[in-house]
Amino acid sequence: MFSLINKYAPINAKNDFLSGLTVALALVPEAVAFALLAGVDPLVGLYAAFTIGLVTSIIGGRPGMISGATGAIAVVIGTLVAQHGVEYLFAAVIMTGLIQIAFGVLKMGKFIRLVPHPVFLGFVNGLAMVIFIAQIKQFKIGDDWITGTPLVIMLVIIAGTMAIIHFLPRFTKIVPSTLAAIIIGSVAAIWMGLDTRTVGDIASIKGGLPIFHIPDVGGLSWEMIEIVFPYAIVMALVGLIESLLTLNLIDDLTGTVGQPNKESIAQGVANSVTGLFGGMGGCAMVGQSLINIKSGGRGRLSGIVAALVLLMFILFLSEYIEMIPIAVLIGVMFMVVIGTFEWCTFRLFGKVPMPDVITGMSVAIITVLTDNLALAVIVGVIMSALTFAWESSSKIHADKSTNEDGATSYKLNGSLFFGSIDSFHSLFTPAEDANDVYIDFNNSKVMDHSAIQAIDKLAVRYKKIGKTLHLQHLSAECRLLLKTARNLVEVNILEDPKYHVADDKLA
């Protein structure tokens, strides 16, 4: 088993600097690939990686997390670029940032904590598979698979890179094993004259400083907003979900706690800035964040160094970075896959409820099939919510008895909401009950409008046969919302509970 993370690694400048350098090397091919996927120039992706990475590292809520141009955003913006051009993309990125800032200011980042563990597990496993599949694509040139000697050379370089990353820490931890593997693998390939694909074979990364540029979309108009806003809202949600889930992942791996709302604001500021400097937009990058954490990066300096070194690559060192073999970077990412995938998942079968297993598998499969992490997480949360509603609906029950006055008494237990209404009605037998029927809600809770209607409907059932309900221990809001049964509620100010009911009438 490969050990990816040292949870107790200290925060120090040396670790942060070296891990930042490692991340910068890994950022280049990713940013270029995502830019090409979005249909824009490679420098648009590289500028996004620089500006977003720098801003989020300085003001973000999760030190050690790396942000930049991502595949999730690239998938969303491809159609916008193809139909309206890159200037509208820049406008959409700025609007995306404003939406994300509002999300953070309204303190909505806390809701990411509500993502159930099966969904988070599926997200992590799906992400590992997406990273793995992305590396497999590097074994193709155009539509043709690499075969023969070039394939053997690639496999040898990949295996050597992985071996260095795994075994080097046993001998020394002065230099991050990932950085050492990239340097050793690249020098060896160049010295031996190996014929293998390099970063330069994908695209040139040479460029100048990003320049401040207001998007040329004819000014602020309703027509422009109609074009840009749908993409901006999707990008904002995709970026926030991926970023905040990555924040949770890094929290778990490092045993520390990030600040979701602060990170949301930082992501928004970063996207607004990158839209003004010719970047394609982005969010947290899980693979690069894991590389950073594995290499010892824990503080803000690691992300700042990664961004600044990436800029140095663009300005001065492009010809050297373009010499790095793609196989070396594939080896690095394969190690990230091994460390990211939750191998304990296979031991959970038969030990956790089947709905949780199905939810986790669904999230992973959707992630792999669509490359849309946000969609997968949303579907997973919905599945978990429906599962919870289904299970809760069957847990409502009542203890029936006859009191000393001969009246029928029901002591209700469990939550009354839209999912448990049928079970609620089945608990009562109006024809068999006494003329006076008491229902005690002390151990129950009325959750929503459907529950209010269910109580009213039950009151009608008893009224039709000439029997009277007495409702006990309902909250003040319940009494306010009831119609038919309102006058049947017995008020006990000292004992009645106080809670809110989810009903539009109270909005």
Question: Rounded distance, CA 323 to CA 71, Å?
Answer: 24
* φ, ψ (nearest 5 deg) of residue 45: -75, -40
- Contact present, 23 and 176 (Cβ < 8 Å): no
Q: Tokens 């509970």 identify what position?
A: 497
- Contact present, 4 and 124 (Cβ < 8 Å): no
Q: Which two tokens stand for residue 225?
A: 């907003």
- Contact present, 121 and 340 (Cβ < 8 Å): no
Question: Rounded distance, CA 169 to CA 77, Å?
Answer: 41
Q: Tokens 């950085």 identify what position?
A: 179
Q: Tokens 């709905």 identify what position?
A: 355
Q: What is the pLDDT of residues 381-431, one digit of tens each?
A: 888 888 887 777 778 899 999 988 899 999 999 888 888 888 899 999 999
What pTM did the predictor assign? Answer: 0.69
* φ, ψ (nearest 5 deg) of residue 284: -65, 145
Residues 6 or more apart whose CB falls under 8 angstroms from that of 61 comprise: 109, 247, 258, 259, 260, 261, 262, 263, 264, 265, 266
Q: Tokens 């997200």 identify what position?
A: 123
* φ, ψ (nearest 5 deg) of residue 287: -60, -50
Q: How confident is the prediction along the chain (507 residues), in pLDDT tens digits per residue?
A: 334 455 555 667 888 999 999 899 888 877 887 787 787 888 999 999 999 999 999 999 999 999 998 877 887 788 889 899 999 999 999 999 999 999 999 988 777 767 787 888 887 788 788 778 878 888 888 788 989 999 999 999 999 999 998 898 888 877 778 788 888 999 999 999 988 988 888 778 888 999 998 998 888 888 899 999 999 998 998 889 889 888 988 888 888 888 999 999 999 999 999 999 999 999 998 888 988 988 888 899 999 999 999 999 999 988 888 888 989 888 887 887 887 787 777 777 777 788 888 888 898 898 888 767 778 888 888 888 888 877 777 788 999 999 888 999 999 998 888 888 888 999 999 999 999 999 999 888 888 888 889 999 999 999 999 998 899 888 888 888 888 777 878 777 667 787 667 655 644
Q: Which two tokens stand for residue 493?
A: 């100010």
- Contact present, 85 and 295 (Cβ < 8 Å): no
Question: Rounded distance, CA 67 to CA 284, Å?
Answer: 4
Question: Rounded distance, CA 84 to CA 77, Å?
Answer: 11
The backbone region for 333, taken as left when phi is positive above 0, alpha when psi lies in -120 to 50, beta otherwise, is: alpha
For the chain, state the CA radius of gyration: 29
Q: What is the pLDDT of residues 285-335, one digit of tens each?
A: 888 898 898 888 889 999 999 999 999 999 998 888 888 898 988 888 788
Question: Rounded distance, CA 264 to CA 107, Å?
Answer: 9
Q: In this structure, how many other beta carbons lie within 10 angstroms of the beta carbon of residue 338?
A: 17
